[in-house]
């Protein structure tokens, strides 16, 4: 279940180049940068660096570009930077801005945590909180990258890296030299081993997997017992013992997006697109949950199951002139919805750091500043994601009751200074979404 869009190789826009902005110090150091991987991270990195007058070529192993057919959340720290990069016109017709998040008790569906989003969050953090179809997000980034003159070479598998030269070798024997190489080659990255050396600990299976599914909203509207969930765009999250379900509407294709996280101690090989097996398993995993949720699950026709990985805490991002970004650098549990947001922050921070150099000899200095700032931020978010999984997944008992009691003020509309709900907690909001969040952004 993947969407794809063909025709990139011959797209005439690949050869055109619109005027980039000058580097922020007014100088025009233009680097030749090779990016490996045209996932969301590779494309964001290309856009951020092309905006700073660098010449970017992306090498992607697949013959066509695609993304998983599911939704993704774009929190304000990410949306603010994407808007600055000029993605607004490419994305605006596809995004939805949820007005609230309701955290619900697994069995009854009763609201136990509540976050006001929409205008309130947008005003506070000077950027919207969006949800969007991954395919639309990926395509918007692709189109902007192409309009900025980025070249995308499909069917170009990188088989080795030289971090000092720097250069990459392709499967067909070509060796490509550049001023910098950025590896955004995903969770199973080959470049990570080169950057981390003996310290490399590949991302490990966490004992959790997620079913991704979408439900046709017209079918939901036919049933008054579930149609009320669509009255205004919202995140609805059901939490229970070791499991949760995150959901939201995707207005661009009129589907209700669901991610159903559950324990899974398999080795990941039986994951993938096998709905015949996964649909009954899903029913069993969530048996006894809120009848409203179970009705929606009953409307799911197909699903993809993906194992959830978490990387070890990031210790470095750079070796020589090779940089790892995105899931290659800091894969994390998706429980703060910040994985791709970190890719966006990384990319802008790297572009900003490089924009301050006036000679190629200063590249190592720029990279070391970038690395110092971004390692600290990535580790914080990796840890927060692990922690949030614990908070969401308490079994019924005294700790769960204490959590729910602590969220009561936000549900009742009373003032509160802290909350176990990471979407509502004022301190977590500030460091996740705020401008002074130590992300390296100025």
Ligand X SMILES: Cc1cc2nc3c(=O)[nH]c(=O)nc-3n(C[C@H](O)[C@H](O)[C@H](O)COP(=O)(O)OP(=O)(O)OC[C@H]3O[C@@H](n4cnc5c(N)ncnc54)[C@H](O)[C@@H]3O)c2cc1C
State the nearest-atom distance from the C-beta of 259 to ligand X, in Å: 5
| 91 is a contact residue toward ligand X (CB under 6 A) | no
CA dist 105 and 368 (Å) reads: 45
Judged by beta carbon, residue 98 or residue 149, the one nearer ligand X is: 98
State the nearest-atom distance from the C-beta of 73 to ligand X, in Å: 3
The 8-class DSSP code of residue 98 comes to -
Judged by beta carbon, residue 185 or residue 410, the one nearer ligand X is: 185
Judged by beta carbon, residue 190 or residue 316, the one nearer ligand X is: 190
* Alpha-carbon dihedral angle through residues 331, 333, 335, 337, given to the nearest 10 degrees: 20
| 337 is a contact residue toward ligand X (CB under 6 A) | yes
Start-to-end Cα distance in the chain: 39
Q: Which residues, 6+ apart, have CB-to-CB distance to 134 below 8 Å?
A: 40, 67, 68, 69, 70, 71, 72
Among 69, 143, 264, 327, binds ligand X (CB under 6 A): 327
State the nearest-atom distance from the C-beta of 13 to ligand X, in Å: 20
Which of positions 172-201 make contact with ligand X (CB under 6 A)?
A: 184-187, 190
Which of positions 119-158 make contact with ligand X (CB under 6 A)?
A: 157-158
State the nearest-atom distance from the C-beta of 88 to ligand X, in Å: 18
CA dist 72 and 333 (Å) reads: 14
Q: Is 301 left (phi over 0), alpha (psi -120 to 50) or beta?
A: alpha
DSSP output for 289-308:
S-HHHHHHHHT----EEEEE
Tell me the window of 30-38, 90-98, 218-226, 284-292 that interacts with ligand X (CB under 6 A). 30-38
Question: Could you give the 3-state DSSP secondary structure of residue 68?
Answer: strand
Among 46, 50, 72, 348, binds ligand X (CB under 6 A): 72
Judged by beta carbon, residue 23 or residue 238, the one nearer ligand X is: 238
Judged by beta carbon, residue 31 or residue 260, the one nearer ligand X is: 260
Place of tokens 């949950």: 289
Among 98, 113, 149, 326, binds ligand X (CB under 6 A): 326
Tell me the window of 6-14, 26-34, 59-67, 237-245 that interacts with ligand X (CB under 6 A). 59-67
| 62 is a contact residue toward ligand X (CB under 6 A) | yes
Tell me the window of 10-18, 195-203, 330-338, 354-362 that interacts with ligand X (CB under 6 A). 330-338
Distances, alpha carbon 323 to alpha carbons 184, 316, 422, in Å: 9, 9, 31
CA dist 329 and 332 (Å) reads: 10
State the nearest-atom distance from the C-beta of 335 to ligand X, in Å: 9
Judged by beta carbon, residue 72 or residue 357, the one nearer ligand X is: 72
| 371 is a contact residue toward ligand X (CB under 6 A) | no
Judged by beta carbon, residue 106 or residue 208, the one nearer ligand X is: 208
Which of positions 279-308 make contact with ligand X (CB under 6 A)?
A: 306, 308
| 340 is a contact residue toward ligand X (CB under 6 A) | yes
Among 8, 59, 90, 238, binds ligand X (CB under 6 A): 59
Judged by beta carbon, residue 347 or residue 400, the one nearer ligand X is: 347
| 36 is a contact residue toward ligand X (CB under 6 A) | yes
* Alpha-carbon dihedral angle through residues 126, 96, 51, 143, given to the nearest 10 degrees: -170
State the nearest-atom distance from the C-beta of 354 to ligand X, in Å: 20
CA-only gyration radius of the chain, Å: 22
Cβ 258 vs Cβ 245: under 8 Å: yes
3-state secondary structure 29-44: CCCEEEEECCCHHHHH
| 37 is a contact residue toward ligand X (CB under 6 A) | yes
Distance of CA 124 to the CA centre of its chain: 22
Judged by beta carbon, residue 34 or residue 357, the one nearer ligand X is: 34
| 389 is a contact residue toward ligand X (CB under 6 A) | no
Question: Could you give the 3-state DSSP secondary structure of residue 357?
Answer: coil
- Given the DSSP bridges, would you call strands 167-170 and 175-177 parallel, antiparallel or unpaired? antiparallel
Taking Cα atoms as reference points, which of 150, 137, 15, 131 lies closest to residue 87?
137
Among 40, 47, 87, 226, binds ligand X (CB under 6 A): 40
Which of positions 218-277 make contact with ligand X (CB under 6 A)?
A: 259
Judged by beta carbon, residue 73 or residue 303, the one nearer ligand X is: 73
Percent helix, percent strand, percent coil in the chain, to nearest 5: 40, 25, 35
- Given the DSSP bridges, would you call strands 318-319 and 322-324 parallel, antiparallel or unpaired? antiparallel
Residues making contact with ligand X (CB under 6 A):
36-42, 59-62, 72-73, 157-158, 184-187, 190, 210, 259, 306, 308, 326-327, 334, 337-341, 343
């Amino acid at each position: 279940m993947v969407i794809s869009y063909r025709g990139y190789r011959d797209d005439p826009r690949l050869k055109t180049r619109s005027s980039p902005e000058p580097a922020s110090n007014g100088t025009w150091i233009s680097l030749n940068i090779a990016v490996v991987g045209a996932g969301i991270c590779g494309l964001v990195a290309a856009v951020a660096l092309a905006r700073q007058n660098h010449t970017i070529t992306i090498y992607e192993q697949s013959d066509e570009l695609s993304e998983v057919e599911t939704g993704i959340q774009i929190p304000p720290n990410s949306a603010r930077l994407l808007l600055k990069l000029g993605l607004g016109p490419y994305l605006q017709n596809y995004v939805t801005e949820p007005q609230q998040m309701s955290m619900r008790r697994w069995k009854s569906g009763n609201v136990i945590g509540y976050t006001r989003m929409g205008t309130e969050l947008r005003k506070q953090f000077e950027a919207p909180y969006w949800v969007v179809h991954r395919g639309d997000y990926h395509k918007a980034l692709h189109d902007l990258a192409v309009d900025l003159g980025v070249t995308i070479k499909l069917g170009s598998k990188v088989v080795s890296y030289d971090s000092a030269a720097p250069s990459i070798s392709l499967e067909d024997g070509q060796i490509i030299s550049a001023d910098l190489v950025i590896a955004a080659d995903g969770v199973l990255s080959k470049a990570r081993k080169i950057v981390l050396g003996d310290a490399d600990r590949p991302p490990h299976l966490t004992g959790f997997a997620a079913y991704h599914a979408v439900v046709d909203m017209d079918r939901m509207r036919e049933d008054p017992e579930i149609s009320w969930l669509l009255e205004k765009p919202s995140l609805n999250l059901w939490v229970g013992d070791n499991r949760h379900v995150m959901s939201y509407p995707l207005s661009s294709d009129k589907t209700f997006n669901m991610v159903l996280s559950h324990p899974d101690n398999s080795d990941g090989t039986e994951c993938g697109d096998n709905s015949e097996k996964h649909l009954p398993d899903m029913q069993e995993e969530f048996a006894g949950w809120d009848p409203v949720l179970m009705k929606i699950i009953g409307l799911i026709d197909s699903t993809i199951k993906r194992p959830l990985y978490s990387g070890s805490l990031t210790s470095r991002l750079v070796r020589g002139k090779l940089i790892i970004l995105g899931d290659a650098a800091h894969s994390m549990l998706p429980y703060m919805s910040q994985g791709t947001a970190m890719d966006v922050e990384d990319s802008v921070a790297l572009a900003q750091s490089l924009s301050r150099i006036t000679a190629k000899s200063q590249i190592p200095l720029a990279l070391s500043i970038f690395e110092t700032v971004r390692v600290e931020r990535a580790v914080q978010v990796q840890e927060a994601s692990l922690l949030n999984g614990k908070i969401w997944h308490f079994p019924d008992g005294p700790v769960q009751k204490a959590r729910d009691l602590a969220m009561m003020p936000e549900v009742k509309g009373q003032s509160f200074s802290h909350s176990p709900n990471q979407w509502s907690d004022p301190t977590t909001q500030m460091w996740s979404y705020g401008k002074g969040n130590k992300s390296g952004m100025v």
